[in-house]
Chain A
Amino acid sequence: MTREEAESLLFREARFLDERRFDEWLSMFTADCLYWVPTVDGDPDREASLIYDDHPRMQERVYRLLETKAYAQLPPSRTQHNISNVEVLDGPDERSVRVLSNLMLVEVRAGGDGQVGTGRLRLLAARCAYLFVDGPDWRIRQKKLSLIDRDLPHHNLSFIL
Chain B
Amino acid sequence: MKLKPGEMVIDQENDFRVHTAAYVDPVIFALEMERIFEQTWVYVGHESEVPEAGDYQTSVVGTQPIILSRGDDGAVHVMFNRCRHRGSALCRDERGHADQFCCPYHGWVYGNDGALQGIPQADGYPPTLDKSALGLMHVPRVATYRGLIFASLSPYGESLEERLCQVRKYVDHWCDRSPIGKLTLSRGIHRFSYPGNWKLQMDNGVDGYHGNYVHESFLKVVERAGETSVRDVTELRRTGYVRGLSHGDGLIDRPYGGMAGQFDYHNPALTEYHRLLQEAYGAGRTATILGQQNVFLFPNLFLFESHVRVIKPMSIDHTVVEMRPVMLEGVPDDLNTARLRTHERFFGPAGMGAPDDVEMFVNVQSGLQARAVDWMILSRGLHREVRNEDGEFVGASTDEAPQRAAYREWRRLMCAEPPGERFPCT
Question: How far, in Å, is A96 (CB) from chain B's closest CB?
Answer: 25
Decide if A71 touches B349 in the complex (CB within 8 Å).
no
Tell me the B196-245 residues at the A interface (CB within 8 Å). Answer: 196, 214, 216-218, 220-221, 224-225
Chain A residues, Cβ within 8 Å of B341:
52
User: Contact at B225–A60, with CB atoms within 8 Å?
Assistant: yes
Is B193 within 8 A of A49, CB to CB? no
Which of A45, A48, A63, A72 has a CB less than 8 Å from the CB of B359?
A: A72
Cα A40 to Cα B352 in complex, Å, equals 20
Cα distance, A69 to B188, chains bound together (Å): 29
Residues of B near A116 (CB, < 8 A) are: 195-196, 317, 362, 365-366, 369
- Taking the closest CB of chain A, its distance from the CB of B369, in whole angstroms, is 6
| Interface presence of B264 (CB below 8 A) | no
Given contacts A115-B366, A152-B191, contact A48 B340 (CB under 8 A): yes
CB <8 Å contact, A68 and B220: yes
Q: Please give, as numbers and ranges, the residues of chain B lying within 8 Å of A42 by CB-CB distance.
A: 187-188
Q: Does A94 contact B (CB under 8 A)?
A: no
Chain A residues, CB < 8 A from B356: 70-72, 158
A102 neighbours in B (Cβ, 8 Å): none
- Chain A residues, Cβ within 8 Å of B350: 37, 50-51, 154, 157-158, 161
Kindly state the separation between the CA atoms of A42 and B192 in the bound complex, as whole angstroms: 21
Q: Are B336 and A71 in contact (CB under 8 A)?
A: no
**Chain A residue at minimal CB-CB distance from B312:** A153
Nearest-neighbor residue (CB-CB) of B362 within chain A? A117
- B309-331 CB contact bits vs A (8 Å, 1 = yes)? 00000000100111101010000
In whole angstroms, what is the CA distance A73 to B196 when docked?
18
- Known contacts A40-B188, A50-B350: A117-B195 contact under CB 8 Å: yes
Q: How far is the CB of B40 from chain A (nearest CB, A)?
A: 24
- Which residues of A lie under 8 Å from residue B340 when comparing CB positions? 45-46, 48
Is B345 an interface residue when CB atoms closer than 8 A count as contact?
Answer: yes
B216 touches A156 (CB 8 A): no
Digitize A94-127: 1 where CB-to-B-CB distance is under 8 Å, 0 elsewhere. Answer: 0000000000000000000011111000000000
- Tell me whether A153 and B188 are in contact (CB under 8 A): no
User: B187 contacts which chain A residues (CB < 8 A)?
Assistant: 40, 42, 46-47
Q: Is the CB of B196 within 8 A of A72?
A: no
Could you mark each residue 343-354 of chain B with 1 if its beta carbon is under 8 Å from any beta carbon of chain A, else 0? Answer: 111001111100
Decide if A55 is an interface residue (CB 8 Å cutoff): no
Cβ of B358 within 8 Å of any chain A Cβ, yes or no, is yes
**What is the chain A residue whose CB lies nearest that of B218?**
A64
Bitwise, A139-161 to B at CB < 8 A (1) or not (0) is 00000000000011111111001
Q: Is B333 an interface residue (CB 8 A)?
A: yes
Minimum CB–CB distance for A63 against chain B, Å: 6
Interface status of B186 (Cβ within 8 A of chain A): yes
Is B190's beta carbon under 8 Å from chain A?
yes
Asked whether A39 lies within 8 Å of B358 as measured between CB atoms, the reply is no
Residues from 53 to 85 in A contacting B, C-beta threshold 8 Å: 56-57, 60-61, 63-64, 67-72, 74
B190 contacts A155, C-beta separation under 8 Å: no
Select which of B188, B192, B196, B224 is within 8 A of A38 by beta carbon.
B188
Nearest CB of chain A from residue B395's CB, rounded to whole Å: 26
Our pick among A48, A118, A156 for the contact of B344 (Cβ within 8 Å) is A48
Pair A158/B221 contact, Cβ less than 8 Å? no
Chain B residues with Cβ under 8 A from A60's Cβ?
221, 224-225, 345, 352
Given the known inter-chain contacts A39-B188, A47-B188, A63-B221, please indicate yes or no for A157 contacting B355, CB distance below 8 A.
yes
Complex CA distance for A89 and B258, rounded to whole angstroms: 44
Contact of B366 among A37, A48, A117 (CB under 8 A): A117
Contact A51:B193 (CB < 8 A) given known A46-B336, A60-B221: no
B88 within 8 A of A: no
Instruction: Assess the A151–B337 pair: CB atoms within 8 A.
Output: no
* In contact, B188 and A49 (Cβ under 8 angstroms): yes
CA distance A2 to B289 in the complex (A): 56
Q: Is B375 at the interface (CB under 8 A from chain A)?
A: no
Q: Does chain A have a CB within 8 A of B53?
A: no
Q: Are A71 and B221 in contact (CB under 8 A)?
A: no
Complex alpha-carbon distance, A39 and B344, angstroms: 11
Q: Which A residue's beta carbon lies closest to that of B225?
A: A60
Name 15 A/B residue pairs within 8 A (Cβ), A-sorted: A39-B190, A46-B186, A46-B340, A48-B186, A50-B348, A63-B221, A68-B216, A70-B352, A116-B366, A117-B196, A151-B94, A153-B191, A154-B192, A154-B350, A158-B349
Q: Report the 3 A-B pairs with minimum CB-CB distance, sorted nearest first.
A: A47-B188, A153-B193, A72-B355
Query: Assuming A63-B224, A70-B352, A153-B191, what are 10 further A-B pairs, CB within 8 angstroms?
Result: A40-B189, A68-B220, A69-B216, A70-B217, A71-B356, A117-B359, A117-B365, A152-B191, A157-B355, A158-B349
